A and B are shown apart, each in its own frame.
Chain A
Amino acid sequence: MQIFEYNGSAVVAMVGKNCFAIASDRRLGVQLQTIATDFQRISKIHDHLFIGLSGLATDVQTLYQRLVFRHKLYQLREERDMKPETFASLVSAILYEKRFGPYLCQPVIAGLGDDNKPFICTMDSIGAKELAKDFVVSGTASESLYGACEAMFKPDMEAEELFETISQALLSSVDRDCLSGWGGHVYVVTPDEIKEKILKGRMD
């Protein structure tokens, strides 16, 4: 029994033109049994910064709570929001603290940095950062996601096209993975607004 495949998950983030999209599946399972179909894997840190966490669901929730805690203190002390790159360094440090008893999560971080330049990155469960200019994926469906994103991605997509692309990539990938799926949850973030959509996919 693989611990990273206990709950099942799929998270993907893509870069567009002055915008980004981050999407996840909604299934929460206990191995083969589906427990919930509305599990939140993506969370907002601030208006221009989101984190999606795949992997063991309990660690997803705990890690998210710890990160929100750290960010709130930072906001109070420094009177500003954290930049995405800074947040990614923080997450990496927090994960490495538990090097020999890690959080069983793989984060996907997506945000708009200075001058509204989109930033995405992912890391492994002990904090090895992987920056990308186009897309990052994580979860049990990651192999299918890599293929789908590689095929469907184009640089400099506007928000609407980005939404379509990431949704199609997510839904087609989770259909090839029995542990993730049951719909999708997509956030498309531009400098002015956050668009949140629930996708209806194959409910199996």
Chain B
Amino acid sequence: MGDSQYSFSLTTFSPSGKLVQIEHALTAVGSGQTSLGIKASNGVVIATEKKLPSILVDEASVQKIQHLTPNIGTVYSGMGPDFRVLVRKSRKQAEQYLRLYKEPIPVTQLVRETATVMQEFTQSGGVRPFGVSLLVAGYDDKGPQLYQVDPSGSYFSWKASAMGKNVSNAKTFLEKRYTEDMELDDAIHTAILTLKEGFEGEISSKNIEIGKIGADKIFRVLTPAEIDDYLAEVE
């Protein structure tokens, strides 16, 4: 991480005690496409806008929601390439844990290790912080869990959360709509409605992505056909 010429950190404290680079990274996240997650009583759903720069882009080739393990998935707001790097590192950490203990990694442990990587990039020579916030959704022995990880490396467990452009409206909407005993299907409907709130243009299965995990502990990205069904139910 940085050769001898850049063995000093580019992320340094300002006189007011802030790490300005991290603030800027959070701004980058805040101008990214909206994504959100909701933890239901029997599962977790994560969703994101998928606004492509042009109609010529093959939308089937773009997948913003990714698996980290069979029972943990993630979505981001911010810079796509930074997300790819984090997904790669997290997958490797999950596999290393599995190889060592022959047991799937608990969600909290994977989140912590990913957050540690993000923190390292705020305190190493010659690198910049990641320009993404992640929402990690998983289901393990402790039940359904939803975590947000920020560029600083801090992570929080949420019942429901949103990130990106429309974050304040989305969070207000979620605060009103969230109930403790919500089931997974209700959560998916709520997620769609929340995305709709700040959506520019017509929402359809081609410009949003939804991932869910239920008590079966298998994380799945919904197909466009399934999204269409949920959209129809919401109308």
Contacts and interface: CB of A to CB of B under 8 A. Distances in A.
Q: Is the interface of A mostly helix, strand, loop or mixed?
A: helix
Interface string A51-92: 000000000000000000000000001100001011001100
Q: Is the interface of B mostly helix, strand, loop or mixed?
A: helix
Interface of A: 77-78, 83, 85-86, 89-90, 93
Contacts of B172: none
Contacts of B100: 89-90, 93
B103 A83 contact: yes
Contact of A90 (B101, B109, B112): B101
A3 B103 CA distance: 34
Interface of B: 99-103, 106, 108-109, 112
A83 B106 CA distance: 13
B103 A78 contact: no
A86 B103 CA distance: 7
19 contacts: A77-B109, A77-B112, A78-B106, A78-B108, A78-B109, A83-B103, A85-B102, A85-B103, A86-B101, A86-B102, A86-B103, A89-B100, A89-B101, A89-B102, A89-B103, A90-B100, A90-B101, A93-B99, A93-B100
Contacts of B109: 77-78
B64 to A, nearest CB: 30
Contacts of A83: 103
Contacts of A78: 106, 108-109
A78 B113 CA distance: 12
Nearest to B100: A93
Contacts of B101: 86, 89-90
A93 B101 CA distance: 8
A93 to B, nearest CB: 5
Contacts of B103: 83, 85-86, 89
A86 B105 CA distance: 11
A42 to B, nearest CB: 23
A86 B98 CA distance: 10
B27 to A, nearest CB: 33
Contacts of A77: 109, 112
A78 B103 CA distance: 13
